[in-house]
Amino acid sequence: MRMFLFSLCLALAGWLLMETPSFAQGPASAAETTIPNEAADAITGIVLIIAGSGFLIAEAFLPTMGLLGLAGVGAILWGIVLVFDPSFSVLLILGALGVAMVGALAFFMAKALSKNPEGEAGGLAGETAEIVEWFGMSGRVKVMGQVWRAYSDTQLDLKPQDLVHIGKVEPQRLKIIQS
């Protein structure tokens, strides 16, 4: 969100450069002291393209759920419109490019969010686990260096370091079967 606000501030600064006369040299006509509109548009557009690229890179490393990515796509497209002459064909191509980028971002976000929340824990079924502590029908077991909560459907008399098999993997616990 901070990066998006930063890009808006940069865009506002570029707009102000186009519209506000400079008073550093004393009173003069606005035509003599302002940056030409084309140059200010180009500077603002380049800054937006760079900021948008930074947003897309930051999206890969920060948990923003696509907000930085969307801000990046918008900043890049807005920057391209400011740098180049926005004729109808350019706007049409940029619109198609924007739709494709947002579609790709949505596809990859949906793919990432649909992954199993336990990661690779589903592959633990059938593995051997070592009892850490056990109290009748529940306790803790160690599998591949990780300690998990575990349970059993039946009362088991298990001691620490006994070996059991994992029958089922659930989101936060394992169902065990005595070896």
pLDDT at 50 over 80: yes
* Segments forming the whole domain that contains residue 62: 2-113
Mean per-residue pLDDT of the chain: 76
Q: How many CB atoms lie within 10 A of CB 132?
A: 14
Do 75 and 16 have their domain in common? yes
pLDDT at 24 over 50: no
Q: What share of the chain is helix, strand, coil (3-state, %, to 5)?
A: 55, 20, 30
Query: Who has greater pLDDT, 143 or 112?
Result: 143
Do 78 and 134 have their domain in common? no
Do 95 and 132 have their domain in common? no
Q: How many CB atoms lie within 10 A of CB 167?
A: 14
Query: Who has greater pLDDT, 144 or 29?
Result: 144
- Which ranges of 20-148 would DSSP assign to H, the alpha helix? 30-33, 37-61, 67-83, 88-113
d(CA 168, CA 61): 33
pLDDT at 79 over 90: no
Q: pLDDT tens digit string along 129-156?
A: 899 998 888 999 998 888 989 998 888 8
Number of structural domains, the chain? 2
CB 122 within 8 A of CB 88: no
pLDDT at 41 over 80: no
9-12 long-range Cβ contacts below 8 angstroms, 24+ apart: 10/44, 10/47, 10/48, 10/51, 11/44, 11/47, 11/48, 11/78
Predicted local confidence at residue 22, as pLDDT: 47
Average pLDDT for 14-35: 51
Gyration radius (Cα) of the chain, Å: 29
d(CA 142, CA 82): 59
d(CA 42, CA 39): 5
Do 19 and 89 have their domain in common? yes
Predicted local confidence at residue 11, as pLDDT: 61
Residue written as tokens 């969307």? 70
Q: How confident is the model at residue 68 (pLDDT cuts 50, 70, 90)?
A: confident
pLDDT at 78 over 60: yes
Domain end among 68, 91, 113:
113
Do 7 and 44 have their domain in common? yes
Do 15 and 85 have their domain in common? yes
Do 125 and 108 have their domain in common? no
